[in-house]
Homo-oligomer: A and B are copies of this chain.
């Protein structure tokens, strides 16, 4: 759907390309903030289950750290595979 459209965009004058990249930048900021929000939600849901205290307990903090690190590593791996597939570089098993 988009290949021809993106080709069209490359033929646009400089000013339009600038606007395009400003738009992408805005989308990336929004996306990063959403990713952050959903990461916090996931790790909170998976790691915090008791509410006898107002402060995070040591083991909850450890769990949150590991959750975030695992998720970020996972997310980078997905990003690499996703990029390969977007470039049609996927191979069969």
**Interface of A with B (CB < 8 Å)?**
53-55, 92-93
Contact = CB atoms under 8 A, between A and B. Distances in A.
Copies in the complex: 3
Nearest to A55: B93
5 contacts: A53-B93, A54-B92, A54-B93, A55-B92, A55-B93
Contacts of A93: 53-55
A41 to B, nearest CB: 14
A92 B56 CA distance: 11
A39 to B, nearest CB: 16
A76 B54 CA distance: 19
A74 B53 CA distance: 19
A93 B53 CA distance: 7
